[in-house]
Structure 1
């Protein structure tokens, strides 16, 4: 019998303090060489155990072997110069020093596949692996070669498809593409962003997901949210076309956000990873908080298609807070499971 409301994290979890500075994005590694390689795998083991202890159903890697959800992937590509940096505005809201695309981009070898194979060996549960989406990759670089966001995105989509096929072969059950840029560049999303995403999943037999959120709980994102008014309706711009796409699952933010929950209706027929854990606060949700968000979402998504998860990654949080939130996620899903099992047969 398939479990109702399978839970998962969106992506990152806090790293142990012995491998990187805690509660910090872009934190440099504290180890080097062989020690770092072993340290990453040890951190991955810890991350798996934290999820399993909390009762999480779909296990992720917690992004323990990478510094950043976008940049670590790009670091392994040819055609990008990390020493040649330019200041660009990322997601149209904050400036950052980024590497430059100086020539044709290509993937000389697998990037995350060995780590995914290691994750697969550690658990019999379903596993999920996150990759950066093509548009979000483009938005994190200065392009001095293609000089076209769309052309560069198509090249990245081909590269991502190569990696995704190898991740699938390594035993990954769900491949998720992180596309926070989908919440900003609506015209581009509908003109070519979703098409590029479909290129990235071409030929895959495993389940595929796209994650679209309002970002980590960092100042630049929090300030942006304050400017969005009393209702956040960004999803309304992209959900209709995503509903028609070949993506299996759409991952979105709900808990403590100003997203009108009825926008989920625009995805009717898709599986939906509903963010029921707020990652922008240290306040730990109660199981009842989580259950209440799930109940509200159930008005707009069928029960067998609802996957409770976190709003976004939890890398900037303390391990204690993240652990509490994972426990609440699992317990809240179980509350609604029990409620439905008392009235329905699945």
Structure 2
């Protein structure tokens, strides 16, 4: 396995989640309870994973994923498998300084008894020869999704999670995952902590990996709490400016970010020049399906600051809360838009 897993120019991928089939969980909902149980649930999750893969392939997505079909939530499903966290002892906390949620409590030392996603990743690997990407929650975002009654120190808990994530990531790499992505929406909020210890924790999580690594930093799913927050950010969203300089110096290979339909000044990409960039060219916060030309326009803007061989067209965030037909349409638009720009680059 090498660090150049895809030979296609402008290889497309998704940021993570795709909508679940209606027979597996209630659609258009985060933390949706499973409709199946026991062996039927295991089989249903695998069937859903195969469907998500097929939909990506039919849309022409180059770097495929599991669509997060086997997990209820991008953070808590991983945490459920750890020692030291009690899901019965719940507290209400403010997540990302944005909205209140009832979350589990850290009541003792955190550790991982066994791999969480490796069996699912190995199953996906058997289904395709394409490069595959697997998402894990980042240490800071994990900390931000819990009530800490044990360490009582965000940084200390984050370092413990970084060690656990590193164990998981190494097993995912061994199972054939080509890109391991860490989701860190908290990086868009807690700037001082990101620069003081957040990026260092992330580097601990990727220590020793030979596969490509990515960090995904976005403005969140298209849920009301996030869209309301965006309205308070003014005419320019400059959050990336706070963390990009240090990320540019980090060992992370790829930075995944939100671009299309956002108020992020595109020139901020200059701050991470030299890195591979997954440019979000699909808005997940509305149900309008982009035209291929709209996707292409976003990619052309990004190419002013990112070399073509380092640009990876992507979605802004996960698409779990969207209708499946809309998500399919957006995947098709992403591929078609990338194809337009690929052709233009070939003719230069």
Which residue of structure 2 aligns with residue 107 of structure 1? 112
Distance (Å, rounded) in 1 between the aligned partners of 2:19 and 2:152: 36
1:87 aligns with 2:92: yes
Instruction: Tell me which of 8, 23, 27 is aligned to 2:28.
Output: 23
Which residue of structure 2 aligns with residue 178 of structure 1? 183
Distance (Å, rounded) in 2 between the aligned partners of 1:264 and 1:122: 35
Which residue of structure 2 aligns with residue 285 of structure 1? 290
What SS does the corresponding residue of 1:241 show, helix, strand or coil?
helix
Which residue of structure 1 aligns with residue 3 of structure 2? none
What SS does the corresponding residue of 2:65 show, helix, strand or coil?
coil
Question: How far off its partner does 1:108 sit?
Answer: 0.2
Distance (Å, rounded) in 2 between the aligned partners of 1:265 and 1:26: 36
Question: How far off its partner does 1:2 sit?
Answer: 1.9
TM-score normalised by the chain length of structure 1: 0.99
Question: How far off its partner does 1:3 sit?
Answer: 1.0
Give CA-to-partner distance per residue, 1:279-321, whole Å, 9 cap, x none.
0000000000000000000000000000000000000000000
Distance (Å, rounded) in 2 between the aligned partners of 1:139 and 1:208: 22
Distance (Å, rounded) in 2 between the aligned partners of 1:238 and 1:25: 28
Distance (Å, rounded) in 2 between the aligned partners of 1:26 and 1:179: 18
Question: How far off its partner does 1:227 sit?
Answer: 0.1
1:11 aligns with 2:19: no
Distance (Å, rounded) in 2 between the aligned partners of 1:328 and 1:2: 21
Distance (Å, rounded) in 1 between the aligned partners of 2:324 and 2:90: 33
Instruction: Tell me which of 53, 64, 71 is aligned to 2:58.
Output: 53
Consecutive unaligned residues in structure 2, runs of 5 or more: 1-5
Equivalent pairs counted in the alignment come to 343
Structure 1 residue runs of 4 or more that deviate by more than 6 Å after TM superposition: none
Alignment of 1:13-162 (within 5 A): 13-162=18-167
Give CA-to-partner distance per residue, 1:137-180, whole Å, 9 cap, x none.
00000000000000000000000000000000000000000000
Distance (Å, rounded) in 1 between the aligned partners of 2:347 and 2:91: 58
Distance (Å, rounded) in 1 between the aligned partners of 2:167 and 2:76: 18
Distance (Å, rounded) in 1 between the aligned partners of 2:66 and 2:337: 22
Give CA-to-partner distance per residue, 1:78-120, whole Å, 9 cap, x none.
0000000001000001000000000000000000000000000
Question: How far off its partner does 1:37 sit?
Answer: 0.2
1:214 aligns with 2:180: no
What SS does the corresponding residue of 2:229 show, helix, strand or coil?
helix
Give CA-to-partner distance per residue, 1:247-297, whole Å, 9 cap, x none.
000000000000000000100000000000000000000000000000000
Consecutive unaligned residues in structure 1, runs of 5 or more: none
Aligned-residue CA RMSD in angstroms? 0.6
Give CA-to-partner distance per residue, 1:48-77, whole Å, 9 cap, x none.
000000000000110000000000000000
Give CA-to-partner distance per residue, 1:193-217, whole Å, 9 cap, x none.
0000000000000000000000000
What SS does the corresponding residue of 1:277 show, helix, strand or coil?
coil
1:243 aligns with 2:248: yes
1:167 aligns with 2:172: yes
Which residue of structure 1 aligns with residue 324 of structure 2? 319
Distance (Å, rounded) in 1 between the aligned partners of 2:86 and 2:284: 32
What SS does the corresponding residue of 2:173 show, helix, strand or coil?
helix
Distance (Å, rounded) in 2 between the aligned partners of 1:106 and 1:257: 38
Distance (Å, rounded) in 2 between the aligned partners of 1:27 and 1:104: 29
Distance (Å, rounded) in 2 between the aligned partners of 1:58 and 1:340: 20
